[in-house]
Amino acid sequence: MASRRKITLDRRKVVEKILKDRGDILLVTGLGAPTWDAAAVGDHPNNFYLWGGMGGAVLTGLGLALAQPKRRVLVITGDGEMLMGVGGLATVAVQKPSNLAICIMDNQRYGETGMQETHTEHGVDLAAMAAGAGFQKYSTVYNNRELAEAIPVLYSEQGPVFVDVKVTDAPQPMTLPPRDGPMLKHRFRENLLGHV
Partner 1 sequence: MAISYKLQRRKVVHQILKERGDAAVITGIGNAVHDVASFNDDPKNMYLAGVMGGASMVAFGIALAQPKRRVLVITGDGELLAGVGSLATIGVEQPKNMSIIVIDNQAYGATGNQHTHTGSGVDLVGIAAASGFKKTALITTQAELESELPKIHSEPGPYFAVVKVTNKSSPRIDAPRDGTYVARRFRAAVTGESM
Partner 2 sequence: MATKKKKKTDWSKEVFKVLKKADIRQIAYVPDAGHTSLIKMAVADNAIKPVSLTSEQEGIAVLSGAWLGGEAGALLMQSSGVGNVINMLGMANECRFPLLMLVTMRGEWGEFNPWQVPMGQATETVLDAAGVIIHRADDPAEIAETVEAAAKIAFDSGRMVAVLIGQRVVGFKDWTK
Ligand X SMILES: Cc1ncc(C[n+]2csc(CCOP(=O)(O)OP(=O)(O)O)c2C)c(N)n1
Q: Judged by CB under 8 A, does residue 86 bind partner 2?
A: yes
Residue 54 touching ligand X (CB under 6 A): yes
Residue 126: partners with Cβ closer than 8 Å, 6 or more residues away: 79, 82, 83, 86, 104, 106, 120, 140, 162, 164
Contact pick of 7, 51, 112, 128 for partner 1 (by CB under 8 A): 128
Per-residue interface string for the shown chain with partner 2, residues 115-134, x marking contact by CB under 8 A: -xxxx---------------
What burial class does residue 125 get, using C-beta atoms within 10 Å of its C-beta: 0-12 exposed, 13-18 middle, 19+ buried? middle
Considering beta carbons, is residue 47 or 77 the nearer one to partner 1?
Answer: 77
Instruction: Compose the 103-142 pattern: x for residues touching Mg ion by CB under 5 A, - for all others.
Output: ----x-x-x-------------------------------
Number of residues that bind partner 2 (CB under 8 A): 25
Between helix 87-95 and helix 57-67 the angle, nearest 10°, is: 10
Contact 79, 104 (CB under 8 A): yes
Residue 16 CB neighbour total at 10 angstroms: 15
Q: Which residues bind partner 1 (CB under 8 A)?
A: 1, 83-87, 90-91, 93-94, 119, 122-129, 131-134
